[in-house]
Amino acid sequence: MKILRIGIGVLFSTLLGACSLHSQSQNNIRAVSWQSLIKVSPENGFFSKGVSACFAGDVNGCLLVAGGCNFPEIPAAEGGKKVFYDDVYAARIIGDTVQKWKRVGSLLSPTAYGVSFSVPQGVICVGGVTPNGSTSAAYRLEYNSEKDTVLLHSLPSLPYKIDNMAGAIIEDTLYIIGGNVDKKPSSRVFALYLGENSAKWHELPPVPGNPRIQPVCAAVKKAGKMCLFISGGFASATDNRNASLNTDAYCYEPDINRWTKIAEPCGADGQPLSLGGGVAVSLSDSLMLCMGGVNKDIFLDALKREQALKKAVANHDQKAEKLLREKVKAYMNQPPEWYKFNKELLVYSPDKNEWTALGSYEQSGRAGATAIYLEDAFYLFGGELKPGIRTPEIWRGKVDQNLPLN
């Protein structure tokens, strides 16, 4: 993931941590322009149906997309099997055109729900879920654009098997935040310094608050120093903790090893907004652009229903179990618009500690997508339009750089 520059100036919101938002543009077309790009469409296989939670990055003027998962034959709502992919595809960028995608290699194993980072030497892939469960693997994809081949270079494995986390990179240090750590929802943070031959992961202070599965995260500047910023995330219930969903946001300052609460994102209606399952990218090296993710109320209800169902099964309450299973089935079979995935694009300004709404866009109304920022545009890959239903669409978006967002 490309680094997102954010900084928080000396003028903080009066209510630090509360919603702070204004609407910058009344005209969506003026704020953000979108371009549909050529899809990954191999002749064989089901990757062309679209995937969620893939790896993505850029190498020497080429886009790379790898891994991901979908339900290619029987839908998830009907009990279909989730399929994971190890394919690595590359496409050269020429001007505003992305050339045809080519399959150029394979991942270490079929993987989804990890994190990826673009570095000068290639694309780093960390953690995720495989057909055999979560993984602690970390490695770099080195792409040779002349030969259309990929080489895999091993990196130190994570100290635990981690999936559905967020991540960012500051100079030569990788940061992994939240996700499931050895199958347990977590807000733990791990870092790996790439500048040492015998580098090892080490643990940092966790993000305050509840565990965070699928949060959004980026590394940006605060008062001239690179920091980590994180928002959103959710967690299923455990034996000693109820299901939860986060709307708050925090900043981690590496030089003082501390997390600080910042303004939480909110929608155009002024209500707190969940970015769980969404994405974040940099914008003009000074702002954070966030998009996508689940609806906080609808998704939290689903998590609570899952918790109630497990309790009914454990208590052998067949009447309650039957009713809850019917509700779960009904939840899975609604039309995409019913789930109200976040379509708003939000920009976070560090100097104002304020979120700006750029408008609502159908293109960004997805969860489980992957995004990168390259030169003057962001690229949005795949994701799902509703639980279990993926999209093969790839979009390039550009934000009007003349908007007075700082």
Task: Find out whether 357 and 40 touch, Cβ atoms under 8 Å.
Answer: no
pLDDT in tens, the chain (406 residues): 333 322 222 222 323 445 666 655 444 446 899 999 999 988 778 899 999 999 999 998 899 999 999 999 999 999 999 999 999 999 999 888 899 999 999 999 999 999 999 999 999 999 999 999 999 999 999 999 889 999 999 999 999 999 999 999 998 999 999 999 999 999 999 999 998 777 899 999 999 999 999 999 988 888 888 889 999 999 999 988 999 999 999 999 999 999 999 999 988 888 899 999 999 988 776 788 999 999 999 999 999 999 999 999 999 999 999 999 999 999 999 999 999 999 999 988 877 888 889 999 999 999 999 999 998 899 999 999 999 999 999 999 998 877 777 6
pLDDT at 162: 98
Name the helix (H) or strand (E) containing 306: helix 296-314
Tell me the sheet residues that pair with 225.
222
Q: What is the pTM of this model?
A: 0.91
Q: Which domains does the chain have, with CATH numbers?
A: 21-294+341-399 (2.120.10.80)
Token digits of residue 29: 């077309």
Tell me the residue type at 102.
Answer: K
3-state secondary structure 178-245: EEEECCEEEEEEEEEECCCCCCCEEEECCCCCCCCECCEEEEEEECCEEEEEEECCEECCECCECCEE
